[in-house]
Amino acid sequence: MAILLLLVLLSYAAGLLLPLCIPARPKIQNLMAHGLAALAGIGGSCLGIAGLLAPDPLTTSVPSTLPLLTFAVRLDALSSFFLLTISLVSLAASIYAVGYVTELYGRVSIALLGSLYNGFLLSMTLVVLADNGFFFLIVWELMSLFSYLLVVTEHEKSDVRYAGLFYLIMTHVGTAFIMLTFLIFFQAGGSFSFEAFRHPEQALPEGMRTLAFLLALIGFGAKAGIVPLHVWLPYAHPAAPSHISALMSGVMIKTAIYALIRVYFDFFGGQFPWWWGFTVLAIGAFSALLGVMYALMEHDLKSLLAYHSVENIGIILLGIGAGMIFQTYGLVEFAALGLIAGLYHTLNHAVFKALLFLGAGSLLYATHTRNMEEYGGLLRRMPWTGACFLIGAVSIAALPPTNGFVSEWLVFQSLFLSFHLPSLFLKLILPLAAAMLALTGVLALACFAKAFGISFLALPRSTHARHAAEVPPTMRAGMALLALACIVLGLAPMVIVPLLDRVVAPFANASIESKVLALDGWALAPVNTDFSSLSTPVLALLLVALSLLALGLVAAFGGMVRVRHYKTWGCGINLTPRMEYTATGFVQPIKRVFSTIYQPTVKLETEFLEESRYFAKRRRFEFHIEPLFQKYLYDPVVAGFTTIADQLRVIQAGSLHLYLAYIFVTLIVLLLVAV
Amino acid sequence: MLQAIILVLAQTVVLLAVSPFIVGLIRKVKARLQLRRGATVFQPYRDLAKLFRKQPVVSTTTSWIFSATPYLLFATTLAAGLLVPVFASKTPLSFAGNIIALVYLLALGTFFLILAGLDAGSAFGGMGSSREAIVASLTEPAMILSIFAIALTAGSTNLSTIVHKTALLEGVAIDPSPHLMALAALFIVAIAETGRVPVDNPATHLELTMIHEAMILEYSGRYLALVEWASGLKLLVFLTLIANVFAPWGIATTGEPAAFGIGLATYLVKVSGLAVLIAVLESMFAKLRLFRVTDLLGVAFILALLGLVFFYVLRG
């Protein structure tokens, strides 16, 4: 295993250095960079599975010359699970990228792009492996910087630069909070090694523990994109090239989930008051609901997907929050179930979100636009992309028998088991969270009915869409791999859940492996067979059998009468794309019903004919959604900063003498303080 | 094993055979209430037979989604029906999915129907799809909460277990108020989900007020037959759910043939009674404006929530 780990890291490192060192044509560099990344992806997946099955964690460390820093690596079950998630998605993204970056030839240095891509993957892998706080912060920061550089790949566009800057600022604010968290642990344990961070309850007073909880929540939450720290996400993720977006939205934000579990369950050892879990749960519920609501109003396909990441992080946190609440009350088996639900959704979201982003990338590749209103009729022109995107859409909308459904079902179960809790308040809050999750699920359904229906069905709405063609085989292969994963993960929860139990068991102090399966392993029945059971393979078989029954009934009652193909009735005139429902029109009722949240402003200008007020010559319709968080939370902060900066400008006169005086005064003050 | 297979097949046949009857019965009762004679209750069977034989017209604009949806919709609705106990409390397939799986199976059908509505490119289909999306969104939270209130009483979310326990009066609340509130909430949800008055009018001829009918406007021939049959099935599934979860008495709790006979007879009486109730309600109310539906479903949500609060407060 150690050798495999070394090979994976070396492969990424080679991918980082070789394209830059060897001058070659873009095509060769493309193959070199993404080939190495794909190899590392395969290795990482194997290593992840091996790590999940291994009885003991793998640890190695390399000492450094710096004090407090050792390059310590530890591959336990939790790390293995996240390594598997990262590697699986990066494998598909790397295969996809071989075809996708051909479009960037000549515009962007492929050597640099490929090199940064490998660097990003390397740092992400190390984040989940690091076993030393100092080392963790270094690779965390590297991950942020690499991803920033990848976001600004197309830096000639001003909105990309804006997105990059926004991301850079937010991620550094987050890192600052993480540093503070680790400093608190450092103060208690006296060392930066994660081993010293574990179980600080003896050393840390109550107040400091609470502070560490909040700091970690804000710091990692900023990376995960929880509401209200999500505002950067819909800017940054879509701005990057699509295979990078897939990685950022699919797996990079998951490193924050990894870190949260590491801190709360590993470092704190699952010892916390109920309101910690409640806070995580509440943030999860609001992130899920607001994420999907803003996604619905988005007509830029990639921004829509980015908002859905906020939603899904919310769903993951619902599972983890429920787990934390159960942990507080000592209901360890339910706690394990909640954590398993959250982790399962982490893996599933990584797979289907990456698939959808790759699908969006294929649409961008084929039509050169991200605006959904300019798509249409693409299923006939791009059948493979369409089929893969449909599988992704069904999964993210949590419909059976796909993977999204299974994990959302598990989250529902853990919320429903709340009736075992002793507190009446929590007994009522958890079902309410379940109701919010139900609303989220069905809004996601509406959103992806919109995204798929408007993009892929009916008539093409623009010349771009009319001339679209299917994407090259490597891109199709990358998507097909993830589509397959969506189906496999949906049909095989009976294999996945016991594996996840191995991850969770040490943290929850309970293994529910023997209590999750019923009926010889055909059905999933978490903790209590009597309470609930689910068997996606049986449901899938049932759907196939009943579809065949429908075919049989048709044949029996009517025979297969030949279908007549004819144009759609357009009330007497020929159907044009302008008559079709638009994405904006589709979500209009939702916008109206939830207008409290959206605060929409509508502007309608009409220019009439001079002869008569009854005939309009031109109409102009505009509508805006009020970005509440940006307006009331971020803009005041930014304005405050700018004001302070303006005032501080006085001391920055640009005169060398003045600066020397500053240094002198500082020195005097420091000396006085020291005395 | 053999008995299980026979039970599943019997349940499939019962659901398929009874659903057009329920649709016909509602139409007949409504006609009588309007002092018309109305067509016989067996008219929907004739309609289906005729539709199956007619030549379907499919728009040249559409993709495979449009042609595949009726089959999928039929399969998802019937699969949902097989998870619910119909005439016997122990449904063999109940282990395959609890009540959440049932809700999401129906949602799978809705998802594809929304897509099919958009596929032909006509504005009416899109309008229906868009409205279906909002109605579905608003019903879901109330449905989940009312389901949870029921699940609490029986200590299970598996439909077979809920029905079986309630039929044998095991663990049923002494005070029925949480149950009644959940029942009221679920009834409103059922009306909204199956597109009945006052949320949607299945008999409307005016495209601008349609929801469900607008989505399926482009379907004809065998496709329309399957879609119509599936909507009848969906109605029946909800009626079965309400009848057997809240009043499972008479259902076969043992494996004896006589018990099955009694179970089937009481089942038919119960769902017919509910169908008559729906017909009466439909005759009493006018269709609500789309944006007033929010209020109705808000009431359902609050009822379900109150049911939950009552349950905990009464049980201490």
Beta-carbon count within 10 A of A635 CB? 12
φ/ψ of residue A228, rounded to 5: -95, 20
Q: Which of B58, B101, B294 sits opposite A534 (nearest CB)?
A: B101
- Are A101 and A241 in contact by the 8 Å Cβ rule? The answer is yes
Which residues in chain A are closer than 8 Å to B55, comparing Cβ atoms?
561-564
This prediction's pTM? 0.95
pLDDT at position A600, please? 86
**How far is A454 from chain B, CA to nearest CA, in Å?**
7
Share of chain B above pLDDT 70, in %: 98
- The predicted-structure confidence for A560-600, as pLDDT tens digits, reads as follows 789 999 999 888 888 898 889 999 999 999 999 998 888 88
Strands B57-59 and A564-566: parallel
Residue B9 lies in a domain: no
Q: Is A651 on the interface with B (CB under 8 A)?
A: no
How many domains are there within chain A?
A: 2
Token pair of A29, please? 């560099």
Q: Is A185 in a helix, a strand, or coil?
A: helix
The predicted model gives A340-347 an average pLDDT of 96
Whether A581 sits inside 8 A of B130 (CB atoms) is yes
> SS3 sequence, A161-178?
HHHHHHHHHHHHHHHHHH
Residue B247 burial (10 A CB sphere; 0-12, 13-18, 19+) = middle
Model confidence at A346: pLDDT above 90: yes
pLDDT range class, residue A202, cuts 50, 70, 90: low
Strand-pair partners of A219? none
How confident is the model over A509-532, as a mean pLDDT? 81
Average pLDDT of the segment spanning A595-623 = 85
| B160 at A interface, C-beta within 8 A | no
B121 interfacial to chain A (CB closer than 8 Å): yes
Chain B CB within 8 Å of residue A534 CB = yes
Q: Given a cut of 80, is residue B315 above it in pLDDT?
A: no
pLDDT tens digits, one per residue of A617-655:
888 888 888 888 888 889 999 999 999 999 988 888 778
Distance of CA B136 to the CA centre of its chain: 13
Indicate whether B174 pLDDT > 60.
no
Q: Is residue A68 part of a domain?
A: no
- Residue ending a domain, among A516, A535, A554, is A535
Chain A contact set for B97 (CB, 8 A): 400, 533-535, 539
Residue A22 lies in a domain: no
B123: nearest CB among A409, A566, A581: A581
- Dihedral sign, CA of A161, A166, A169, A174? negative
Mean pLDDT of chain B: 91
pLDDT of residue B46: 96
**Mean pLDDT, residues A599-605:** 86
Tell me if chain A has a CB within 8 Å of the CB of B70: yes
Write out residues 437-456 of A within 8 Å (CB-CB) of B: 437-439, 441-443, 445-446, 448-450, 452-454, 456
My answer on whether A312 and A417 are in the same domain is yes
Least confident of A178-182, A599-603, B37-41: A599-603
A92: in domain: no
Tell me if B299 is assigned to some domain.
yes
Name the token pair of A558. 């009517």
Who contacts B71 (Cβ-Cβ below 8 Å, separation ≥6)? A547, A550, A551, B226
Kindly report the three-state secondary structure assignment for every residue of A276-328.
HHHHHHHHHHHHHHHHHHHHHCCCEHHHHHHHHHHHHHHHHHHHHHHHHHHHH
Q: Is A407 on the interface with B (CB under 8 A)?
A: no
pLDDT for residue A626: 81
d(CA A177, CA B107): 42
Largest separation between any pair of C-alpha atoms in chain A:
101
Of B96, B121, B138, the CB nearest to A459: B121
d(C-alpha A398, C-alpha A407), whole Å: 8
In this structure, what are the phi and psi dihedrals at residue A414, rounded to the nearest 5 degrees? -70, -30
Paired residues of A130 in beta bridges: A73
Band of residue B170 on the pLDDT scale cut at 50, 70, 90:
low
For A359, the domain range is: 288-535
Same domain, A520 and A644: no
Nearest to A77 by CA among A508, A450, A429: A508
pLDDT of residue B172: 59
Q: Is B52 on the interface with A (CB under 8 A)?
A: yes
**What tokens appear for A297 in the block?**
């109003």
What pLDDT was estimated at residue B94? 87
pLDDT in tens, B176-221: 788 889 999 999 999 999 999 889 988 887 878 889 999 999 999 9
In sequence order, the 6+-apart residues with CB closer than 8 A to the CB of A17 are A115
CB contact under 8 A, B134 and A589: yes
A518, A535, A552 - which closes a domain:
A535
Q: What angle do CA A265, A271, A274 make, to 5 degrees?
A: 105
Residue ranges of B 186-215 with Cβ closer than 8 A to chain A? none
Q: Is B45 exposed, middle or buried (0-12, 13-18, 19+ CB in 10 A)?
A: middle
Give the whole-angstrom CA distance, residue A299 versus residue A315: 23
For chain A, say whether B154 makes contact (Cβ under 8 Å).
no
Position B289, amino acid: R
B116-140: average pLDDT: 93
Task: Please report which helix (H) or strand (E) contains residue A60, including its range.
Answer: strand A58-63
Give the per-residue pLDDT at B173: 53
Of A458, A562, A588, the CB nearest to B121: A458
The per-residue pLDDT for A201 is: 62
- A-B CB pairs within 8 A amount to 274
Separation in Å, CA of B30 to nearest CA in chain A: 29
CB contact under 8 A, A586 and B72: no
Asked whether residue B252 carries a pLDDT value surpassing 60, the answer given is yes
Q: Is residue B252 part of a domain?
A: yes
Number of structural domains, chain B? 1
Which pLDDT belongs to residue A522? 82
Q: Assess whether pLDDT exceeds 70 at residue B256.
A: yes
Confidence of residue A81 (pLDDT cuts 50, 70, 90): very high
- Domain containing residue B238: 37-315
**Which are the contacts of B23, defined by CB distance < 8 A and separation ≥ 6?**
B44, B232, B235
Interface test with A, best of B73, B118, B152, B315 (most A CBs within 10 A): B118
Distance to chain A for B20, nearest Cα, Å: 15
Give the tokens for residue A374. 């300019």
What pLDDT score does B11 carry?
Answer: 95
A402 domain-assigned: yes
* H or E element, residue A47: helix A26-53
Residue B316 has pLDDT above 70, yes or no: no
Residue whose pair of structure tokens reads 């029942």 in the numeric block:
B183
**Residue A399 counted as domain residue:** yes
Q: Is residue A434 part of a domain?
A: yes
Contact B121 A568 (CB under 8 A): yes
User: Tell me: the pLDDT tens digits for A8-57?
Assistant: 999 999 999 998 888 888 899 999 999 999 999 999 999 999 999 988 89
Q: What is the mean pLDDT of residues A297-304?
A: 94
Residue A521 lies in a domain: yes
pLDDT by residue (tens digit) across A458-513? 999 999 999 999 999 999 999 999 999 999 999 999 999 999 999 999 888 888 88
Contacts of B225 in chain A (CB under 8 A): 554, 557-558
How far is A103 from A472, CA to CA, in rounded Å? 11
Mean per-residue pLDDT of chain A: 92
Q: Show residues of chain B in contact with A431, CB under 8 Å.
A: 145, 148, 308
DSSP A67: T
Query: Does residue A612 form part of some domain?
Result: no
Q: What is the pLDDT of residue B171?
A: 58
Q: A457 vs B119: CB contact, 8 Å cut-off?
A: yes
Contact B23, B235 (CB under 8 A): yes
Residue B58 host element (H or E): strand B57-59
Using an 8 Å CB-CB cutoff, list chain B residues near A428. 308-309, 312
ipTM reported for the complex, 2 dp:
0.96
Residue with tokens 């640009």: A654
Residues of A numbered 364-393 whose beta carbons fall under 8 angstroms of chain B's beta carbons: which are they? 377, 379-380, 386
Q: In Å, how far is B37's CA from the nearest CA of chain A?
A: 29
Domain end among A535, A551, A577: A535
- Establish if A532 touches chain B: CB-CB under 8 angstroms: yes
Is B3 inside any structural domain? Answer: no
Measured between CB atoms, does A63 come within 8 Å of chain B?
no
Residues of chain B positioned with their CB less than 8 A from the CB of A412? 100, 144
The answer to whether A405 and A535 are in contact (CB under 8 A) is no
Residue B78 lies in a domain: yes
Mean pLDDT, residues B117-123: 92
Q: Within an 8 Å CB–CB cutoff, is residue B163 touching chain A? A: no
A615 lies within 8 A of chain B by CB: no
Half-sphere exposure of A340 (CA within 13 A, CB side): 34
A641 & A529 share domain? no
Look at residue B239 and tell me whether its pLDDT is greater than 60.
yes
Greatest distance between any 2 Cα atoms in chain B:
62
Residues of chain A contacting B157 with CB distance shorter than 8 Å? 413, 416, 531-532
Residues in B closer than 8 angstroms to A519, CB to CB, are 95
Measured N-to-C along each axis, helices B293-315 and B123-154 cross at an angle, to the nearest 10 degrees, of 10
- C-beta of residue A411 within 8 angstroms of C-beta of residue A341: yes
What is the percent of chain B with per-residue pLDDT over 90, rounded to a whole number? 68
Q: Touching check for A572 and chain B: CB below 8 Å? A: no
Contacts of A523 in chain B (CB under 8 A): 95-96
Examine residue A228 and say whether the peptide bond preceding it is cis (omega within 30 degrees of 0): yes
Q: Is residue B275 part of a domain?
A: yes
Which of B111, B122, B143 is nearest residue A445 as measured by Cβ atoms? B111
